[in-house]
Structure 1
Amino acid sequence: MLATCQSLITADVRGNAAHIRSLMRQARAAGARLAHFPEGALTGYAKHQIRDWSAVDWNVVREEFKRTAALAGELELWVVVGGAHRLTPPHWPHNSLYVISDSGELVGRYDKRFLSNTEVTSFYTPGFEPLVFEVDGWRFGCAICIETVFPALFAEYERLDVDAVLLSMYYNLPERNLMAQAHASINSYWISYANSADCSAVSPSALYGPDGLALGVCEGNGSASLICTVLDPATPEFDVPLTKARPWRRLASAGEIYRQRRVDDERSCDQTRF
């Protein structure tokens, strides 16, 4: 079971961490094996809570991360949580998703690759690699916010054979939800859309199935909340997306089924005649 968590994000790292850990406990109590959080959930997000990196107390960030990881181990819960990853000065941080295992160990980090103009010119250092990890035999990929507008990234994760993409957001316009739904449908996999609570009135957190339809949506009233969803490939509605559409699209994208049917016909070659 996957918990899509809509946490409160402020400039107070300790407060952010407290919200994260509260939702982690709720997720585990509901039976979740993985809890997924928004962009910048732990540290806050640049341009909003963070205006200057010098204002960030990295010792507090490290302390609260360790407490969060320790709770993940105590709960035996996988956690994917957003936060800024400090680099050696004068380099700007990465905008990252930390993957914490159910033993409380940091086992991976996804660094946002496609940054906005403001992010890349004023706040963050880009990453360059996808991240795929496994939980209980399920393969998960990671993406962050504006990367939603880059379809090639989601196609790449389909080629990497993921079952679901964890898409962490800090965004307050509804078109990103529609894009996430489209990527879920086009690639026939689940997408967990975890947004900040203060963006939820117009862009609530949600879980989209391989058919692109919402399986659950968080409250849109600005409060911290979560939805827990069983990822079940045996769901009848997912038969076509998973067992027919996805294999066919992969085959079609390779192109050989079309190339071998190309004909040498003047009525095909001449595109100026009716």
Structure 2
Amino acid sequence: MINQLLKIKLQIKVDSPLIHCITNPISINDCANIVLAAGSKPIMAEHPDEVEEITALSQALAVNLGNITDVRIKSMMLSGKVAAISKIPSIIDVVGVGCSSLRLNYAKEYICKNKPSAIKGNMSEIKSLCNMDSHSVGIDAGNDDVINANTLVRNSEIVRELSLATGAVVVATGKIDIISDGRKTYSIKNGIEIMSHITGTGCMLNVLIASYISSGRILEGVILGTAALGISGELSRDVKGTGSFKTALLDNLYTLTDESIKESIKLEEVTI
């Protein structure tokens, strides 16, 4: 598995794929920069009259439900359809579906119609997609939905069930991340607490994953994106505060070596 991840990482730097990101204004600049740091090229087009054309030219699509607007609701659906028809790898970040019926209903419709390659959310959001009780605090996972050693297996079952139901690779993010393609399920235990204290890290992960799944290796691309951001966070721990941390995070992803991944990745298969 590790060798496959490293091959994808190199492939992206060599090929510089175009990644179409329909995200929100809160994190759009950070998202563009993290895509560049990975070696890809971002394009952030969101006007409904151009997104189909842009997606068709791209090697992957990332959409994000944060700070939702009528324009992006229309644009994301149009782009998602193009990605599905053209078999362009895509990911949806289901931000806020645990606290907003508008977002939840839209996410379900989007997933049903467009069959994204990957779905990303925190555990509260994943539970909401599964029609289970969840405990969101705004767009954050509630305390009862935290992934830890005691809840890992049960939450892994939920993630796997959503993957089987949708055909997508599903990633549930948290202190422990869970990733499943319905056949195999993995945990990743990289990252540090300060990552939850700056806005946009989840959005950045979404587009970073899009960069790596442009390779066509969806499970491995999701794992690589999740682990790479977590490891880059760990390498950025010796900073003054959240402002310098965000800069260090970009720096460390840009300079992330194969050796750092081999030494630091905390990837395990979950037995369910």
- TM-score, structure 2 length as denominator? 0.36
Structure holding more helix per residue: 2
**Over alpha carbons, which structure has the higher Rg?**
1
Return the TM-score normalized by structure 1: 0.36
More strand by share: 1
